[in-house]
């Protein structure tokens, strides 16, 4: 017999009460937990949520652009694509690996290994071509993401590469201007807060003010003229190849300011692909590698003699029929000569004659003028890795040293030292501090740094510089520098051919030489000083400074001068550098 309603009612009532009590107890527990989380632990909870959905990222601003003197970009930033993967989002990793392998030119096993990583965002390949990026985007594989980030790009390729240097993947300058002016070009890093999605990917910036307040890198303007740079590199490459030389250097300077107009080295390199090369390929030899200057140093010896009054341009010097005993050895000239003037000694590059000039100067004055012209010390150019060259103190000189120095031996100079020293004669007697950067500005165009004329000292007077200029004109018109002559322009300069040391014997080599020419033009109103150095030419007929380096000077100048607006038969005024004590500045004036 089934129970009546009266019989089961107490049981149901008891069970219902138990259920209600349980529910009530559960709600009380939930309420307490909510109270604990929402009230007592609100700050900790908010912090945890913030950590999960927000991220602080160190953001690097755009690197500054490097321009030539006319505002043409030589180093800039471009957005380069890279491909990443979110492994957790891949629906079919095996198929994705097979599909991506031929596009990315990677093996399936490589991709599978990347897909198995535990990180939420793994890089698959960096700096891929744009067409590859578009192909990947069109495939629309879930979890595969193509991003674009700024990368350093050199639009002119190898042009000016040894000056520019290069920057690495981490936006840090590694060589050249990129390295030396790193603190200006790089800008200031800043922490920016971003919102993240469930997979950890960045969605957007939460603090627009922070993201917009990044201090971008400053822009750098060089003193280099890209047209002059191209001409110098073009003619240098032809000369090195024609003479089958090891390497070559051309430096062109504005003698009045010390500004470098061109800095050409050959062989050169493309900074866009610097990883494929070694340090010897990108080393800036014009500041790091000293060489024996040979007869180009006779300019300094003659200028010192004129300044000290021990010689005049017309002073007669006996050539000894082209030979002279020195410290148990015989010094020879390339041609026999008897009596010569100082002008003829320099023009014909007589070793015997210049040694006799050095003997009149004696050790102390010889050393004094070599130092005054900047040898044995750094020029102070705004490039890293500069060498001081080699100039020993007279206390350590041997009985032959004075004679050796007179003909450019027992001394080592860098190309930048030599072109700066010749500029002393060109600008009227001032030793300038060379520079390759003329201006640094911020993103708004406000000037941050300006490099202008910076005279160090005055080794010789204006009168001595003018007389020395006439002597150097004779060296081009009638002497060893005839190859540098230009129709319609007056050229002043000096050739040099120095023997290299044979590393095996330790003696001067009879076949390995450095051929050079250093000069300025127009001689009456110098607008550029140029040094041409050809290292170890193998072509027998081109192993002399007058045969290979001087003609290169003429070819470069013939193309550069019209570009600078200097036409044949121009003004006959003498442009010289003069220092004003009142304004502490160097000015170009007409004397």
pLDDT tens-digit readout, 186-198? 877 665 555 655 5
Ranges of H-type helices in 428-461: none
**Per-residue confidence (pLDDT) for residue 27, from 0 to 100:** 77
Sorting pLDDT into bands at 50, 70 and 90, what band is 49?
Answer: low
Ranges of H-type helices in 348-414: 351-372, 401-406
Flag the least confident range among 127-141, 472-486, 524-538: 127-141
| pTM exceeding 0.75 | yes
Q: Please provide the size of the chain in residues.
A: 591
Q: Say yes or no to pLDDT of 361 above 90.
A: yes
pLDDT cut 70: percent of the chain above it: 86
Q: Say yes or no to pLDDT of 287 above 70.
A: yes
Contact 471, 298 (CB under 8 A): no
Sorting pLDDT into bands at 50, 70 and 90, what band is 587?
Answer: very low
**Per-residue confidence (pLDDT) for residue 565, from 0 to 100:** 93
Question: How confident is the model over 127-151, as pLDDT tens digits?
Answer: 888 888 888 888 888 888 888 888 8
Question: Nearest CA to 258 among 420, 450, 386?
Answer: 420
Question: Nearest CA to 373 among 427, 300, 275?
Answer: 300
Question: Nearest CA to 475 among 445, 504, 496?
Answer: 496
CA 62 to CA 219: how far, in whole Å?
10
Catalytic residue among 161, 223, 243, 295: 295
**Per-residue confidence (pLDDT) for residue 123, from 0 to 100:** 83
Tell me the average pLDDT of the chain.
86
Q: Say yes or no to pLDDT of 169 above 60.
A: yes
Strands 437-441 and 447-450, sheet pairing? antiparallel
Highest-pLDDT range among 35-44, 84-93, 414-423:
414-423
Residue in the block written with tokens 């999605």: 197
Cis before 352 (ω within 30): no
- Which pair of structure tokens corresponds to residue 498? 């120095």
CA 350 to CA 117: how far, in whole Å?
75
* Domain ranges within the chain, ordered by starting residue: 226-590
Sorting pLDDT into bands at 50, 70 and 90, what band is 535?
Answer: very high
- Which pair of structure tokens corresponds to residue 115? 């897909």
Q: Say yes or no to pLDDT of 6 above 90.
A: no
Sorting pLDDT into bands at 50, 70 and 90, what band is 88?
Answer: confident
Sorting pLDDT into bands at 50, 70 and 90, what band is 452?
Answer: confident
Question: Nearest CA to 426 among 310, 568, 299, 263?
Answer: 299
Sorting pLDDT into bands at 50, 70 and 90, what band is 7?
Answer: low
Q: Tell me the average pLDDT across 258-265.
A: 97
**Per-residue confidence (pLDDT) for residue 195, from 0 to 100:** 61
Q: Is 295 a catalytic residue?
A: yes
Which class does domain 226-590 fall in? alpha beta
pLDDT cut 90: percent of the chain above it: 56
Flag the least confident range among 113-122, 203-212, 378-387, 449-458: 203-212
Backbone φ and ψ of 252, nearest 5°: -125, 125
**Per-residue confidence (pLDDT) for residue 337, from 0 to 100:** 84
Which comes out higher in pLDDT, residue 483 or 96? Answer: 483
**Per-residue confidence (pLDDT) for residue 203, from 0 to 100:** 53
Instruction: Name the helix (H) or strand (E) containing 27.
Output: helix 5-35
Contact 420, 526 (CB under 8 A): no
């Amino acid at each position: 017999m089934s129970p009546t309603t009266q019989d089961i009612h107490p049981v149901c009532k008891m069970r219902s009460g138990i259920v209600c009590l349980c529910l009530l107890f559960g709600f009380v527990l939930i309420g307490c937990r909510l109270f604990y989380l929402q009230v007592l632990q609100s700050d900790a909870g908010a912090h945890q949520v913030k950590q999960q959905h927000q991220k602080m990222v160190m953001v690097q601003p755009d690197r500054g652009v490097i321009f030539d003197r006319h505002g043409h970009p030589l180093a800039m930033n471009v957005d380069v694509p890279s491909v990443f993967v979110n492994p957790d989002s891949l629906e079919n990793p095996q198929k994705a690996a097979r599909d991506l392998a031929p596009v990315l030119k990677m093996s399936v096993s490589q991709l599978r290994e990347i897909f198995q990583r535990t990180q939420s965002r793994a890089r698959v390949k960096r700096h891929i071509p744009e067409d590859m990026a578009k192909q990947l985007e069109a495939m629309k594989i879930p979890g595969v993401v193509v991003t674009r980030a700024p990368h350093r790009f050199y639009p002119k390729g190898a042009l000016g590469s040894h000056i520019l240097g290069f920057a690495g993947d981490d936006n840090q300058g590694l060589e050249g201007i990129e390295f030396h002016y790193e603190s200006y070009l790089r800008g200031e890093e800043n922490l920016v807060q971003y919102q993240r999605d469930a997979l950890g990917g960045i969605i957007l910036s939460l603090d627009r003010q922070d993201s917009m307040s990044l201090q971008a890198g400053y822009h750098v303007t060089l003193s280099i003229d890209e047209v002059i740079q191209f001409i110098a590199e073009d003619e240098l490459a032809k000369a090195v190849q024609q003479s089958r030389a090891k390497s070559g250097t051309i430096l062109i300077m504005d003698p009045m300011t010390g500004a470098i107009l061109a800095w050409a080295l050959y062989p050169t390199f493309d900074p866009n692909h610097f990883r494929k090369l070694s340090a010897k390929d990108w080393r800036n030899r014009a500041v790091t590698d000293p060489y024996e200057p040979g007869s180009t140093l006779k300019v300094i010896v003659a200028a010192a003699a004129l300044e000290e009054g021990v010689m005049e341009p017309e002073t007669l010097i006996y050539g000894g029929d082209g030979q002279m005993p020195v410290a148990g050895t015989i010094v020879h000239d390339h041609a026999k000569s008897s009596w010569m003037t100082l002008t003829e000694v320099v023009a014909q590059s007589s070793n015997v004659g210049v040694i006799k000039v050095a003997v009149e100067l004696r050790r102390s004055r010889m050393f004094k003028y070599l130092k005054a012209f900047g040898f044995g010390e750094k020029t102070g150019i705004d490039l890293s890795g500069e060498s001081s060259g080699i100039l020993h103190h007279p206390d350590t000189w041997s009985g032959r040293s004075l004679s050796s120095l007179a003909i450019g031996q027992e001394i080592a100079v860098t190309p930048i030292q030599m072109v700066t020293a010749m500029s002393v004669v060109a600008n009227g007697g001032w030793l300038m501090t060379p520079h390759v950067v003329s201006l640094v500005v911020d993103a708004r165009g406000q000037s941050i740094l300006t490099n202008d004329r910076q005279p160090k000292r005055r080794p010789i007077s204006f009168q001595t510089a003018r007389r020395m200029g006439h002597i150097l004109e004779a060296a081009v018109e009638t002497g060893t520098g005839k190859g540098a002559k230009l129709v319609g322009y007056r050229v002043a300069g000096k050739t040099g051919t120095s023997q290299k040391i044979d590393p095996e014997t330790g003696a001067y080599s009879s076949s390995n030489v450095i051929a050079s020419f250093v000069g300025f033009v127009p001689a009456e109103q110098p607008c550029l000083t140029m040094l041409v150095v050809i290292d170890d030419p193998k072509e027998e007929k081109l192993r002399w400074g007058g045969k290979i380096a001087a003609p290169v000077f003429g070819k470069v100048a013939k193309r550069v001068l019209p570009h600078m607006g200097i036409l044949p038969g121009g003004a006959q005024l003498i442009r010289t550098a003069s220092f004003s004590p009142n304004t502490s500045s160097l000015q170009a004036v007409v004397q």
